[in-house]
Amino acid sequence: MLDGTTAEVANRSALRINPAKTCQPIGAMYASLGIQGCMPHSHGSQGCCAYHRSHLTRHFKEPVMATTSSFTEGASVFGGMANLNQALKNIFTIYNPDIVAVHTTCLSEVIGDDIPSIVAKARESGAVPEGKIVIHANTPSFVGSHVTGFANMVSAMVNYLSESTGETKNQINVLPGYVEPADMRELKRLAAAVGVDIVMFPDTSGVLDGPLTGEYELFPRGGATVEQIKSSGDNIATLGLGHFASHIAAATLESKCNVPAAFLELPIGVTATDRFVDALRSYADVEVPEAVENERGRLVDLMSDLHQYFHGKRVAVSGDPDHVIALTQLLLELEMKPVYAITGSTGNQFEKRMHELLDGPVPEAKIKQNADLFELHQWMKNEPVDLLITNTYGKHIARTEDVPFVRFGFPILDRAAHRYYPTLGYAGAINLINQILNVILDRKDRDCPEAWYELVQ
Ligand code: SF4
C-alpha cells in the first residue's frame, strides 16, 4: 500500500491518512496506571476499553488492567449513569482498589454524562465505600490526542488530590510527561544523584516494568501514592516537563496550592537535561555533585567522539509534540539536520517552538502540527532523508524508502525492551545516540563496496 504513496502533495484539510496520534483515553489510562492502587475506568463501550488496553499492552508487553462501564444501546439513549454506578459498585467489591480514575470516551462525551454528579450519587448509594477515592477526567477523542488525555488526567490528579496544609515540605514536584517507565525511573535516579527529594506523578515505573516475582499483583507496588500526590500542594516548586503533557497540571497546582511552576522541555540531550538539573539545583539550593557532572561529561565526550558520523545527516522526525521538540534539540547538538518534523497532535506551540529551534540552523526544514505520516512519506519521496525517527508506524515508510529507522516514542509495537532503556537525562541520551549510530553504521556496512567494508569504523 505504501509503495503506492504518491510524491505529489495535495492540500487536505479534513482527511488524515496514517495518523500520527491516537485517542485521548489511551493517555488518560496510561497516566492512571501511574497512581499506586489505582483502577483506570473507561466510561464508554467495551470496544474502546479493549482497544486502549491492548494498545498499551502491545507497547509495554505487560498486562494492562482497566474496567469499563460497558455501554450498550440503552446507555447510548438514556445516558451512562446506571452503568457507572453499577461499575463502581462492582469494582470496589471485586477488585478493592484505593482509587478509581474515570475517563470518558467519545460516546459518553456526546451523551454529555456529568461524571461528578454520577459519582456523588454513587457515593450516596454506597457504591463507593467510605475512604475510597474516585477522580475523573473528560477525554473526548474528537479533539486532541493521547497526549491531551494524559495531560487531562494528570490535571485531574491535581484537581482532586493535591492539598495545601500551609506547611511547606522541602520537596520538588516533577511531572514527567508522557514518557516510558524507564524514563520516570531515570528522572528519580538523577534527582537523587543531585541530592533533591522529589514527588513524581504519575509514575509508571514499577507498574509497567516491574520484576517477575512469580505472583501476579493486580496493583503492582510501583506508582505515586495518593499521599504523595496530596503532598504536592505543600512542595516548594513544580517542574512540568513537556508543554503538551504537563503544562495544565503544573499551572493548576500553582493556582490551586500556590506552588511555583517551572515549565521545561523533556530533558533529552545535553542542554535540556542541563536545564532540568539546574532547576532542581536552584529550587533545592544544592550544589550539583561531581558524579552528575561526570555523567554529563561522558555524554559530551561521546558526542564529540562520534560527531563525524552524524554531521549533516538529514533526518525526518515524527511523534508526540513534546518528544519531537526535545529530540530535535538533541539532533541539533549532534549537528544533524532535522529537515522534516511533524506531530499528529494539534497546538500552535509546536510549530512556534520548532521554528525557533530550526529557522537558524536548518532554514529549509518543514514543520507541521496536526499532520499525518502519509504527508511525511510524500515529503521523503520528494527529497529523501538519511534517517527516520518515529514510532512503529514509521516502519513501512522506512522499508518502502529504504531509509535507516530508529523507533522512538509511543507506540512501539514491534520491539520489546524499549521500556527498560531511558532516553531522558544524560544516561538516556547515551542510549538514544547509540541507537542512532548503530542504524547509520549498519547502513554504511550494508551499502559500501567490498573494498570499503571495514573491520574498524
Ligand atoms: S476514538 Fe473514541 S470511539 Fe474510538 S476508541 Fe477512542 S474513545 Fe473509543
State the distance from the centre of ligand 1 to the C-alpha of 396, rounded, in angstroms. Answer: 24
Tell me if 8 is assigned to some domain: no
The catalytically annotated residue of 48, 77, 110, 288 is 110
**Across residues 328-351, what is the average pLDDT?**
97
Same domain, 439 and 310: yes
67 burial class (0-12, 13-18, 19+ CB within 10 angstroms)? buried
Q: How many C-beta neighbours within 10 Å does residue 352 have?
A: 11
Q: What is the CATH number of the domain that holds 420?
A: 3.40.50.1980
**Residue nearest ligand 1's atom 8 by CA:** 48
Same domain assignment for residues 146 and 213: no
Give distance in angstroms: CA of 53 to centre of ligand 1.
12
Same domain, yes or no, for 259 and 299?
Answer: no
Is 52 within the bounds of a domain? yes
Give the pLDDT mean for 151-166: 97
Ligand 1 pocket test target in 41, 43, 46, 51 with most atoms within 8 Å of CB: 51
pTM summary value: 0.97
Catalytic residue among 9, 64, 106, 194: 106
Which atom number of ligand 1 is nearest to the Cα of residue 106? 2
- Within-domain flag for 9: no
Active site residue 456: no
Report pLDDT for 3. Answer: 75
pLDDT at 1 over 70: no
Residue 377 in domain? yes
Per-residue pLDDT, averaged over 284-299, amounts to 98
Is the separation of the CB atoms in 27 and 42 below 8 Å?
Answer: no
300 shares a domain with 447: yes
For residue 152, pLDDT over 80 is answered with: yes
Check whether residue 304 and residue 331 sit in a common domain: yes
CB of 51 within 6 A of ligand 1: the answer is: yes
Q: Are residues 29 and 79 in the same domain?
A: yes
When divided into structural domains, the chain yields a total of 3
Shared domain for 396 and 407, answered yes or no, is yes
Domain for residue 5, yes or no? no
Query: Which single residue is written with the C-alpha cell 515505573?
Result: 205
Residue 390 lies in a domain: yes
18 domain residue, yes or no:
no
Domain boundary among 265, 290, 315: 290
- What is the whole-number distance in angstroms between the Cα of residue 140 and the centre of ligand 1? 8
Nearest C-alpha neighbor of 336 from the set 389, 382, 374: 389
194 as an active site residue: the answer is no
Tell whether ligand 1 has an atom less than 6 A from the beta carbon of residue 48.
yes
**19 Cβ inside 6 Å of ligand 1:** no
Return the sign of the alpha-carbon dihedral for residues 407, 411, 412, 418. positive
Query: Does residue 28 share a domain with residue 62?
Result: yes
Domain boundary among 247, 275, 290: 290
> What are the strands, taking DSSP E only, across 138-268?
169-175, 198-200, 235-241, 261-264
Last residue of a domain, one of 98, 130, 161: 161
Answer yes or no: do 377 and 431 share one domain: yes
Considering the domain architecture, whether residues 318 and 427 belong to the same structural domain is answered as: yes
- Say how many Å lie between the CA of residue 23 and the centre of ligand 1: 6
307 and 285 in a common domain: no
In a domain, 2, yes or no: no
Do residues 77 and 118 both lie within one domain?
yes
Supply the range of the domain harboring residue 395: 292-452
CA of 139 to the centre of ligand 1 (A): 10
pLDDT band at 419 (very low <50, low <70, confident <90, very high): confident
